[in-house]
Amino acid sequence: MNPIIFLILSVITVGAAVMVIFSRNPVSSILYLILAFFCLAAFYVILGAQFIAAVQVIVYAGAIMVLFLFVVMLLNLTKISEGGSAFGKTLGVIAAFILLVAILTVFDKVSLGPAPSTELTTTQSLGEVLFTTYLVPFEIASVLLLAAIVGAVVLVKRSKK
């Protein structure tokens, strides 16, 4: 892999991820997240995993980001993003720290297994490796998606009051 291309993609990806967090406009945050997803797909292409890159673009940059954009427009989240109380921000920082400690503890205790030695040429072999060797990261991703759904429900219930 060319180190210059890797460095450029890394800077763009990290910059887009930081802008997702610090952008005041929710629509801009979503657009930065789409940019980060496309850069991640470019990493997959460079590593020779074209199937994973295509799935990344179709599923994440396509379907999920369109869903996020519709939810943001439906809920009119510009009112929510205007600010918050100091207590809420402090509580958010504490919750993020606890989540980080929990994730680090899980990764310290769980072995993710060695890299697969077989050539992943079919979708079936990819599925077998995903649900055997990489089952823990797959389940962690599903828990994160569940947390996002619960967060969306909380935002909807809060805006109706």
Ranges of each domain in the chain? 1-82
pLDDT digits (tens, 9 = 90+) for 129-160: 878 888 888 888 888 877 877 777 777 676 55
Of 80 and 101, the one with more pLDDT: 101
Q: What is the pTM of this model?
A: 0.51
Which residues does 32 contact at the CB level (< 8 Å), separation at least 6?
16, 17, 19, 20, 23
Q: How far is the CA of 15 from the CAs of 19, 21, 120, in angstroms?
A: 6, 10, 32
pLDDT digits (tens, 9 = 90+) for 12-54: 999 989 988 888 877 788 888 888 888 888 888 888 778 888 8
> 1-82: what fold?
Four Helix Bundle (Hemerythrin (Met), subunit A) (1.20.120)
